[in-house]
Amino acid sequence: MDYIVLDIEFNGRKFASDLPMEVIEIGAVRLDSSLRLVDGFSSLIKPVYFSKLNNFIKKKTGIPQEDIDHAEGFPQVIAAFRAWLNRSETFLLVTWGGEDLKRIVFDTRMHKLNDADWLAASYFDLLKGYIRYKNVTNDVSVEAALADLGISAEGSAHRALDDARMTAEVFRKLFAELDLERTQQYKDTYTNSKERRLVKSAVRTMMRQNKSPDWDQFVEHYLTGKVDLTDRRKAAELKAYFAEEMKTSGEKRP
């Protein structure tokens, strides 16, 4: 089993445009079963929509515009990345959070490519592993985790290959403490973290008040005017999340 530590950088205007964010760089390192760094993959990607990097992204990543201008497109780069991945007989993707695989899936679909391999790929969210190890609730950056673990950061933060290397150092440091059975596969979601936190917070409030409303009552009292439930997929997802939170909170009650 090889471990592929993956990082991506992406470009766009998440809140200022309806156009999609796009992957502009993929970086990854391969660790063998002994956690030795075997090789790496790195490539810039020329975006379709925002061909000019915005000032925030240029400052954050340090990627020169001329390098992006001469980069290959997503279809060519993702094919090369797949070929590189397949040098391993078996592998597990390791990411810091779930955004990296999500963005690859989104761009694969945007370019009308087959997403089956990415949907079937298993990945381990090292951010969640680190949070469980430290017994904290707040998300942290890779750089903060390195500092906390006493690991010297090398390379440039927010460049995909360097971030993948730094993430790999955290993975190696914590390997013996990680439950690698907690692998995941990409799943389409229709709610965002803010909406899920709202449901979780409301359920906790209800439990403190010894209330146990059904879903329709919950929507009326806690979600109306705050969450748009016209999308049936979102409504179904939040309803399932509500049921799970009710069950979990109920089990924790004395």
For the chain, what are the domain ranges? 2-185, 193-252
pLDDT at position 251 over 70: no
CA distance 146 to 59: 22
CA distance 245 to 79: 40
Q: How confident is the model at residue 8 (pLDDT cuts 50, 70, 90)?
A: very high
CA distance 144 to 127: 11
Judge contact between 104 and 17, C-beta under 8 A: no
pLDDT at position 100 over 80: yes
- Domain spanning 2-185: CATH superfamily: Ribonuclease H-like superfamily/Ribonuclease H (3.30.420.10)
Length of the chain: 254
Judge contact between 162 and 27, C-beta under 8 A: yes
CA distance 185 to 93: 10
Summarize pLDDT for 174-221 with one digit per residue, the tens. Answer: 999 999 999 999 999 888 878 998 999 999 898 888 888 899 999 999
* pLDDT (mean) for 18-36: 94
The kind and range of the H/E element at 43 are strand 37-44
Percentage of the chain lying above the pLDDT 70 cut: 96
More confident residue, 154 or 236: 236
Give the number of other Cβ atoms within 10 Å of residue 1's Cβ. Answer: 11
**Which residue shows structure tokens 């190890």?**
133
More confident residue, 152 or 25: 25
* pLDDT (mean) for 97-112: 94
CA angle 225, 227, 228 (to 5 degrees): 95
Rounded alpha-carbon distances, angstroms, from residue 2 to 29, 63, 179, 209: 10, 29, 16, 50
Summarize pLDDT for 49-86 with one digit per residue, the tens. Answer: 888 888 888 888 999 999 999 999 999 999 999 999 99
